[in-house]
Amino acid sequence: MSQKPECKTEGNYIVVPKGLVNVIVDETKISGVDPKGESTIYRGFTIEDIGENASFYEATYLILYGELPCEEELKEVKNKIDKYRGQVPEKVFDALKHVPVTHPMYYGIYGASLLGQFYASDWKFDPDFLYDHALRLTAQLPVIFAAGWNLAHNGTFLRPDPTKDHAWDVLRMITMREPTELEARAFESTLVIYMDHGFNASTFTTRVIASTLSDLYAAVAGGIAALKGPLHGGANEKAMEMFLDAKKRAEGKGVPLDEYIEEYILEKLAKKEKIMGFGHRIYKLHDPRTDVAAKFVAQLKDGDYWMKVLKKAEEVMWREKKIPANIDLYTAILYYQLGIPIPMYTPIFAMGRVVGWSAHYIEQVLNNKLIRPTEKYVGPSGLKYQPMETRCRK
């Protein structure tokens, strides 16, 4: 844990560090990183325990409702998610056929907004109403991402199959081929470990929008927009691009990648570049989510090869910067092994995190206080309006 911060005040105001580093802004019962910064607690369980053992449906129920479901509750949440996955309004697919080909995170940003136009007109702050929309959005957002990507890049898309398991069906719609059980379980585990993570940037964005009493679809559109940034969700794409660039250079030199990766990383560090997939605001020793993903990386295509590369990269970054890998380094490789197009990596992060954003939206609105910090204005003051002729200095 970093050194004990001093709390600065100015008159009636508390002054906090830029980026709200180590600032607790509210309490939550959904998830949080343990004080030692070595694990994340999901509603009382460790994230790795849930990531390894829970299905997408069980983890969704846990994050939304606060406990693992019993048989009946699991059946109900599975039926709702599978039913809603098959009910994306046709006009949403029509809209996707006419939008320009952009970064696929935009399919989620306007996909959530489009769904809001269909579902959010008479918005209520009744828990059952909110949970139902959380399940609907959880089910439908992945369909929109997959359809948007494949319409833009393959001219067609696969419609959901509500009779299939959610993770299996979503992976099928993304890659447009039927995954194996192992591939589907690997994919499902990443959706679970991406589901929530305390007050990360996109979740806090969602809570700020929730605190204005806007609707869930608008709040999640904001969360997706925040997640798009490379310092947050976009790192898994950048990490894979880095590995492929290093692979090409290693082949050019006739050196195995798990040897060349050291030189490659040192070169970037010398240029003060950040290595995507490393570092974290909270985890200073280890991101436990990497252990869940690593188990699947080792079992999937070229597992031994990629594990050697990953471990070498981690060894170099720890020796040089004492910075651990974060989940995005491992999901980058895992999604590559699943044959998922690289620009779809961050949308997949959103397909899991939509559950956490929804849970935080509900927690915020049911015990709300508008989030509106203040600022220290340090610009000029006392200026007067000037006519044009006196304005432009020669």
Residues with a catalytic annotation lie at 232, 280, 328
d(CA 289, CA 189): 10
d(CA 244, CA 391): 53
User: Does the footprint of ligand SDX cover residue 323 (CB under 6 A)?
Assistant: yes
User: Looking up tokens 């290595």, which residue turns up?
Assistant: 275
Least separation in angstroms between CB 310 and ligand SDX: 14
Nearer to ligand SDX among residue 101 and residue 231 (C-beta):
231
- Are 206 and 361 contacting, i.e. CB atoms less than 8 angstroms apart? yes
- 3-state secondary structure (DSSP) of residue 202: helix
Contacts of 332 (CB under 8 A, 6+ apart): 236, 237, 239, 240, 243, 277, 345
CA 146 distance to own-chain centroid: 16
Which positions from 83 through 122 interact with ligand SDX, judged by CB under 6 A? none
The contact mask relative to ligand SDX for 168-207 (x = CB under 6 A, - = no) is -----------------------------x--x-------
Contact range with ligand SDX by CB under 6 A, out of 82-90, 118-126, 272-280, 301-309: 272-280
User: Does the footprint of ligand SDX cover residue 231 (CB under 6 A)?
Assistant: yes
Contact range with ligand SDX by CB under 6 A, out of 245-253, 278-286, 340-348, 362-370: 278-286
Q: Which of 212, 216, 250, 225 lies closest to 102, judged by CA?
A: 225
Least separation in angstroms between CB 240 and ligand SDX: 12
Which positions from 54 through 83 interact with ligand SDX, judged by CB under 6 A? none
Nearer to ligand SDX among residue 47 and residue 114 (C-beta):
47
Nearer to ligand SDX among residue 50 and residue 147 (C-beta):
50
Kindly tell me the burial class for residue 4, based on how many C-beta atoms sit within 10 Å of its own C-beta (0-12, 13-18, 19 or more).
Answer: exposed
- 31 secondary structure, DSSP code: E
Q: Which residue is nearest to ligand SDX (CB)?
A: 279
Footprint of ligand SDX (CB under 6 A)? 19, 197, 200, 231-232, 235, 274-281, 321, 323, 326, 328
